[in-house]
Amino acid sequence: MASSSAGNSAFMATGRTRVLIDAGLSAREVKKRLAAIGEDIAALDAILVTHEHCDHVCGLLAIGRSSKRRIPVYLTHGSAEYIDWSENPPVIERFQAGCSFSVGDINISSFTIPHDAADPVGYTLSAEGIKVAIATDLGYVPDSLRVHLRGTDLMLLESNHDLEMLRVGPYPWSVKQRVMGRRGHLSNEVAADFIRNDLDGSVSTLLLGHISEHNNHPELVRGMAAKALNGRALFTRLVVCEPGVQSEVFSY
C-alpha cells in the first residue's frame, strides 16, 4: 500500500487470512487504502512490525482500536520495549528475531536486518505456493539475507537514496552519515548491485521502495535498477513504489 521514508505499510491476503506488515500510516489512511481495494480494516487477522521507528508504527495503536476485536501485533522482544503500550494495548505477540510462526494459512519467517533500531527484522510470508519478501531499512545486504530471499516470487527491496543527492541535500552531516552507514538504508547503487549479482531468478515481481522524498527520485531508482536488470536473462517485472502513491494490487 505504501513504502517510502514518510510511511510504510503493506497488506497481504489469502482466501481466509489478512495481514498488515507495518503500520506507518494513520488508521484513517490505512482504512481508506484498504477500502479502495475492497478490503476492511476490521477484518485484519494480525499486524507484523519490522521495527519501532515512527514511519513503521505511527498508526499501530489507532489501527488496533479501529476494530471491535483486538488485532494481535507480532514484533520482536526488543522492538516491543520501545513502543508505548499504555493506552488500550492490543494483544502483543513477542518473538525472537529469526523465529517462524503462522497466522491463519500464512507461514511467516523473520530475519534480522542491519538497521539502527532496537531489534529490527524483515519477513518472508508464504501461502498457497507463493512466497513474498519484505526487505527494507537495512544498511547493507548481509549473506544471511540472500539465503532468506531465495525462492521469492514477489520482493519488496529498499532503494532509499541517491548518494549524490544525499551528499548535497538538506540533511545535517550526522544524519547523512547515519543513512549511508551499515545500519542505515540501501542506496540506489547498492540495490542495483544486488539486482545485478544476487537477485533470484524466481522473482517475478520486484518492488523497489522506501524511497526518500528528499534524497531520491523514482526515475533515478527505475533507471538504475532497469540497467541492472538488463544484464540478466530474467523475466522480472520492475515496479517502483512512489512516495505518497498507493501501489497497485499484485495477484498470484
Tens-digit pLDDT profile for residues 89-140: 889 999 999 999 999 999 999 999 999 999 999 999 999 999 999 999 999 9
End residue of a domain, out of 80, 113, 146: 113
Nearest residue to 110 (alpha-carbon basis) of 120, 102, 100: 100
Digit-coded pLDDT (tens) for 214-249:
999 999 999 999 999 998 988 999 999 999 899 999
Digit-coded pLDDT (tens) for 174-227:
999 999 999 999 999 999 999 999 999 999 999 999 999 999 999 999 999 999
Q: How many separate domains does the chain show?
A: 2
Q: Count of residues for the chain?
A: 252
Nearest residue to 210 (alpha-carbon basis) of 193, 190, 185, 228: 185
Whether residue 67 is predicted with pLDDT greater than 90 in this model: the reply is no
- For residues 157 and 206, the answer to whether their CB atoms sit within 8 Å is yes
Buried/exposed 39-56: b ≥16 CB within 10 Å, e otherwise: bebeebbbbbbbbbbebb
Give the up-direction half-sphere exposure of residue 34: CA atoms within 13 A in the CB hemisphere: 25
Range(s) of the domain holding residue 223: 129-242
Q: Is 226 contained in some domain?
A: yes
pLDDT at 71: 92
Q: Is 76 contained in some domain?
A: yes
End residue of a domain, out of 78, 113, 148: 113
- For residues 192 and 223, the answer to whether their CB atoms sit within 8 Å is no
Same domain (yes/no): 102, 138 = no
Same domain (yes/no): 101, 178 = no
Average pLDDT of the segment spanning 43-55: 97
Instruction: Sort strands 18-21 and 205-209 into parallel, antiparallel or unpaired.
Output: unpaired
Same domain (yes/no): 103, 142 = no
End residue of a domain, out of 63, 78, 113: 113
Q: Is 251 contained in some domain?
A: no
Q: Is 122 contained in some domain?
A: no
Return the sign of the alpha-carbon dihedral for residues 191, 145, 33, 130: positive
> H helices of 135-187, where?
143-148, 163-168, 173-180
Digit-coded pLDDT (tens) for 6-41:
899 999 999 999 999 999 999 999 999 999 999 999
Same domain (yes/no): 107, 43 = yes
